Structure 1
Amino acid sequence: MLDRIVHYFDTLYSPTALAADRQPPMGTRAFFTYFLRQFRGVLWARLALVGLGSVIDASFPVFVGWIVGMLATTAPGDLWSVHKGALLLMAAVVLIRPVVFAADQLMRNHALTPNLVDLVRWQSHWHVIRQSWTFFQNDFAGRIGNKVLQAGEAIEMAVNTTIDAVWSTAVFLVVAMIVLGRMDPLLLVPIALWLVAYAALFRWAMPRVDRYSEEMSEARSVMSGRMVDSYSNIQTLKTFADDGAEDAYVAEAVTVHVGIFRRLMAIFSASWSLLFLLNAVLLTSVTGLALAGWSSGRMTTAMVATVIPFVLQIVNISGWILEVGANVFRQIGTARDSMQTIAQPLTLVDAPDATPLTVTRGGIVYDAVSFDYWRGDRGTVVDALSLTVHPGEKIGLVGRSGAGKSTLVNLTLRMFDVSGGAILIDGQDIRAVTQQSLRKVVGVVGQDTSLLHRSVRENIKYGRPGATDAEMIEAAQRASVHEVVLGLEDPEGRRGYDAHVGERGVKLSGGQRQRIALARVILKDAPILVLDEATSALDSEVEAAIQETLYGVMQGKTVIAIAHRLSTIARMDRIVVLDHGRIVEEGTHADLLEMGGIYAGLWSRQSGGFLDPGAESTEAT
């Protein structure tokens, strides 16, 4: 029975649901509301249950006063007979409190907390992962991940703590002031003065806690980003063996973080010291007034016995609230810091009327395409470039480093939007079609091949998730990697296609990663194929072994290939030479050699087996 009840509350909300509006908003209140409105029902239930619990808690000092009054005015043998009704009422109220608490725990610990934490993370991740490539180029992956993960806990802790502490205390104080005011209005004077001073202390401390918490969260993210950057590039660190410089780089972030942390702790120290003074004044003044009232006959012994526990509870709660309030503001600061990353609007989105791309032939037209990176020092990368790639044609792109080759490929995939002109596939402007449909029809093997930290099977089938194992193995065999895969074993003992490849595929050699990436694109079997230095990590023997396979894969597809080794694109239907974002030469391999221009010079140096002193400035990449 209990398991069924718990399961019901556990599954009351789905942590992987998506909000109707998929764009988390900027602004602290709006950001919190965006996620919390999805849990309206359980939040209202918690407010009701916690409020009821506080009313019951406020009745306990009253019960103490009643009992003291009973003992003072009733003979020992007559207590039950005279006060039976009051005693049963008190017992019933005390016994109801655990039931209220248990119901609230079901709401808090099962319906709300785990679902809210991970829903915030999931919806934040869902939005962030749809950001443009530029978004990720401009930040640390570890920093972004930290922002997403901390947002869920920050929002959950802020809202639950506010309900558990601030709301419950507010209800308790209202009840306490009503009870004490009815006994003697003079008792409310020191309490009112204390509340004013307490509010002033809160007003002074909490904004500082908020500010330093946000700064500390950012500093923690930077520190995390630098550490993760070190871990991600551990081979470079080990190779260059410059531990001192790397240690200093991370230590700088640690020093900044601890400096902010110390300022935050100074606020806590000052706040607690002042609060202890305020509480001491409150306790002595209210107790003194109660005793004076008893001495003058205005208050009974039962009333004094009620007043003192009330004040003691207020004093104890005040310290708790200061600590909790600081924690709430810390979490708000943390959530606000995360919001700056999570709530950034998407900059590269589908047009409102975007339709799926329909590829019937695979022709690509670059119509006066221009592109500038937002960094002004980069200048124009592609400059009014016009090029028609006919359906089924194989095009090789050649040029000096920075000529715009890879940028042109990224524009074709709509990783960036063109600054001018248009790119059309089978007559459809790629800005007018959905990004998902565009990338489904383009198979890409890049020079910087990274794999997902999953099994080889999952990495290859990423090209076509519905493929069978037999189709996957055939693709691996065509990429000359099947035998390599069969010999793999990871630290967990998983073998072959079940072996995990490590983060970004670090457990494999560059050539092995590139062949798995080739198998993935072979399995995808897209009508348009982009090869950006697709064999750069392969040795000559392996490259020769799969060269014919590559040419076989190209059959019937429109192909754009970038290669440093010109021999790999010499058989292309047409070779296009770029320089400063413009087409400067165009033709077959034989045509370009006959021209005696840039391509011929590059070919001469490579086929001659050496690079002359000026080769660095004209090297093809």
Structure 2
Amino acid sequence: MFSQFEKLVHPYPDGIPKPPPRAFFAFLWECTRGMRGYILAMTVFTALIGAFEALLFGMLGNVVDWLSRIQPSRLWAEQKGTLTLLLALLLGSTVLVAIQSAIKQQALAGNFPMRLRWNFHRLLLSQSMGFYQDEFAGRVATKVMQTALAVRDTWMIAAEMLVFVIIYFVTLLVVLGNFDAWMLLPFLGWLALYVGALSYFVPRLGKVAQAQADARSMMTGRITDAYTNIATVKLFSHAGREARFARSAMEEFLATVHAQMRMVTGFEIVNHALSMGLILSTAGVALWLWTQGLAGVGAVAAATAMALRLNGISHWVMWEMASLFEHIGTVQDGINTLSKSLQVTDRDDAKPLAVNRGEVRFEDVSFSYGAAGEGRRVIDHLSLHIRPGEKIGLVGPSGAGKSTVVNLLLRFYDVDEGQVLIDGQDVSHVTQDSLRAQVGMVTQDTSLLHRSVRDNILYGRPDATDAQMMSAAERAEAHDFVQTLSDPKGRRAYDAHVGERGVKLSGGQRQRIAIARVMLKDAPILLLDEATSALDSEVEAAIQASLYRLMEGKTVVAIAHRLSTIAAMDRLIVMDKGRIVEEGDHRTLLAKGGLYARLWAHQSGGFLGEEADDSDTQRAA
């Protein structure tokens, strides 16, 4: 039976998720897509259980009255039908609880948040590069995980606790009114004071909870950032500094916890005082009515039992309401990240990119990071024609815009003005996946996935055979060192895991795995951004021939600060301040005596003196 309920909600829907609305209730409602029927069913069964529990007190009060005036031998004969109905209702309530619990625990408790995580994760994978440059990776991951749980718990509390309490209390008032209208007075008085206490404490708890959720995300983000960059932390002996940096976030988080717990304690004290007042006033009114002959023993017993039951329920409601507003605060905090619109999106009529020749054109392109027209232009009215199969090198000082040209070709960002064309197709009019499938790239800062060597190389072409994968590794001069790899779990060679971001490998080994991955991809357009910078001279010389073979028949754009690595390109494009200032082959540019000649003259050991990445330079600006 459990498995049937567990299969009711599909946790991994195929539909492409869209950014949810930023309004709180609209966000919550959108999150229930595909599960609303089950949430409604759980709510209906919860309402039935609440009504049954309140009616049960009335029935038991009648039983007490029967016991006080009917001879024991006559009880079954006189009340056979009522007692049978009571027994049937008691047994039937088990079925209600079973169905309600199965919907809640089996259908929704696990599947609901997992479905949200699946959608949130896919949504964030579609976010632009600019989004991730402004966020901690750990902070984003925390928001995905905790927001999914908070949305589920918000709906669970609203559908279960609020509905149960409302139906229970309304039914309870009806039952008490049937005994005597005066019995309603203590409960109505308690309700007014209790709602007043809730209206005071709960919104304040909600504000603290929202601040707490943000502080928790920041704390997690800072801790994760230190772990992600542990080599840098140790290299500069800054473990203590990082601990203090995390501690400041911990202190901020702890301050919100203390504020929250102070209000919870105050609420606890007020709630207990109200509950004791309810019990005393209910018992007092019931006994007074009994002494006046206006209520029977059963009514006294039922009313007192209801007051005692409300004592327990009020504590439960207090904690659930505090939890509800904590979840609301978490959801509101998550909305700020999860509802951000995608900066780079496919058009509705976008088609797959078809590359037959590999011609690339930049036509009067301008671009600045941030809102269009704001800040310094990184690319300023740039026009560039790269012929099919041509191999060009981008040269220039830091901040010239070289890496930005590559980013725009990959459509990591949309241009402010102009067009980027591949074989006459505007890259903004084709699907992003098809565009990047036609481009292979090796960067200076190689990042590998914490998976096996095989998985990392096959990332270039997942459907490749092992033979094709190993052939790519051999051409990248990676096969021999891969054979020596092992990890703590005993996996060896191509099955060995490389650690987070490939930390278990040397820089040169990571670079060779990355080159093997691009070789396997075999895309018609190839981008090289300091592709061999992490390699020693001997290894670089060994794979340079392989890179040249890889470049055959491809359109190539190479960026290098070590000018000797690109001097043999068909054409060199010299950039400065987002513009093309010179172009030609190595000898021609040296003869001109311009910027390229000065850069060549200033090289020390084959490298340019300025090596900071231009995209970093512009972001700092």
Q: TM-score range by the shorter chain?
A: over 0.9
Asked whether the equivalents of residues 398 and 620 of structure 1 are also in contact (C-alpha less than 8 Å), the reply is no
Deviates more, 1:119-128 or 1:547-556: 119-128
Distance in structure 2 (CA, Å) of the matches to 1:71 and 1:117: 51
Residue 181 of structure 1 is matched in structure 2 by 177
DSSP 3-state at the match of 1:380? coil
Q: Distance in 2 between matches of 1:501 and 1:21?
A: 32
Deviation at 1:307, TM superposition (A): 1.1
Alignment-derived partner of residue 578 in structure 2:
581
**Inter-partner Cα distance in structure 2 for 1:359 and 1:492:** 43
1:32 and 2:28 matched:
yes
* Pairwise CA distance, 1:25: 1.3
Q: Is residue 2:317 matched to residue 1:316?
A: no
Mapped pair 1:166 → 2:162 = yes
| 2:514 is aligned with 1:507 | no
Q: Tell whether 2:476 aligns with 1:479.
A: yes
Compared with structure 1, are the counterparts of its residues 248 and 474 closer, same or farther at alpha carbon in structure 2 (3 Å cutoff)? same
Alignment partner of 2:245 out of 249, 258, 261: 249
Residue 543 of structure 1 corresponds to 540
Q: Is this contact kept in 1: 2:368–2:374, CA < 8 A?
A: no
Label 1:277 to 1:530 Cα distance change in 2 as closer, same or farther (>3 A): same
Give the whole-Å Cα distance in 1 for the aligned partners of 2:53 and 2:15: 38
Deviation string, structure 1 residues 285-333 (Cα, Å, up to 9, x no partner)? 1211110100000111111111111111122211110111111111111
Is 1:467 matched up with 2:481?
A: no
Report if aligned partners of 1:399, 1:620 keep a CA contact under 8 Å in 2. Answer: no
Q: 264, 273, 276: which is aligned to 1:268?
A: 264
Amino acid at match of 1:194: W
The reply on whether 1:436 has 2:433 as its aligned counterpart is yes
| Structure 1 position 238 matched with structure 2 position 230 | no
Q: Which deviations, in whole Å up to 9, do the C-alpha atoms of 1:451-473 show, x marking residues without a partner?
A: 11111111111111111111111
Q: Are the structure 2 counterparts of residues 224 and 121 from structure 1 closer, same or farther at C-alpha, using a change threshold of 3 Å?
A: same
- The one of 97, 114, 123 equivalent to 1:101 is 97
Deviation at 1:616, TM superposition (A): 3.7
Residue 558 of structure 2 is aligned with which of 558, 561, 566?
A: 561
Question: Equivalent residue of 1:365, what SS?
Answer: strand
Shift in Å, 1:556: 0.3
- What is the deviation of 1:78? 3.5
Please report the TM-score for the alignment, with normalisation by the length of structure 1: 0.95
Q: Which residue is equivalent to 2:444?
A: 447
| Paired residues of 2:563 and 2:606 also in contact (CA < 8 A) | no
The whole-number CA distance in structure 1 between the counterparts of 2:16 and 2:588 is 58
Match in the other structure for 2:141: 145
Give the length in aligned residue pairs: 613
C-alpha spacing 1:434/1:19, structure 2 compared with 1 (3 Å): closer
Q: Name the residue aligned to 1:199.
A: 195
Match in the other structure for 1:397 = 394
CA distance in 1, matches of 2:39, 2:457: 45
Gaps of 5+ in 1: none
Report the Cα offset of residue 619 of structure 1. Answer: 8.9
* Residue matched to 1:225: 221
Taking a change above 3 Å as real, the CA distance of residues 386 and 486 of structure 1, as seen in their structure-2 partners, is: same
2:326 is aligned with 1:330: yes
* Aligned residues of 1:212 and 1:264 also touching (Cα < 8 A): yes
Structure 2 Cα separation of the partners of residues 131 and 620 of structure 1: 22
| Match for residue 374 of structure 1 among 370, 376, 385 | 370
Task: Spell out, residue by residue over 1:417-476, the C-alpha distance to the aligned partner (whole angstroms, 9 max, x if none).
Answer: 112221111111111111111111110111111011111111111111111111111111
Residues 362, 617 of structure 1: alpha-carbon distance in 2 compared, 3 angstrom cutoff? closer
Amino acid at match of 1:265: M
Name which of 32, 54, 57 aligns with 2:53.
Answer: 57
Aligned partner of 1:383 in structure 2 is 380
Q: What displacement does 1:596 show?
A: 2.4
Relative to the length of structure 2, the TM-score reads: 0.95
Alpha-carbon distance, 1:21 to partner: 6.0
Whether contact under 8 Å (2:393, 2:558) holds in the other structure is yes
Amino acid in the other structure paired with 1:260: T
| 1:342 counterpart residue number | 338
Counterpart amino acid of residue 542 in structure 1: V
The answer for unaligned runs of 5 or more in structure 2 is 615-621
Counterpart pick for 1:422 among 414, 419, 422: 419
Name the amino acid aligned to 2:582. E
CA deviation string 1:374-426 (max 9, x = no partner): 28996221111111110000001111111111111111101111122211111
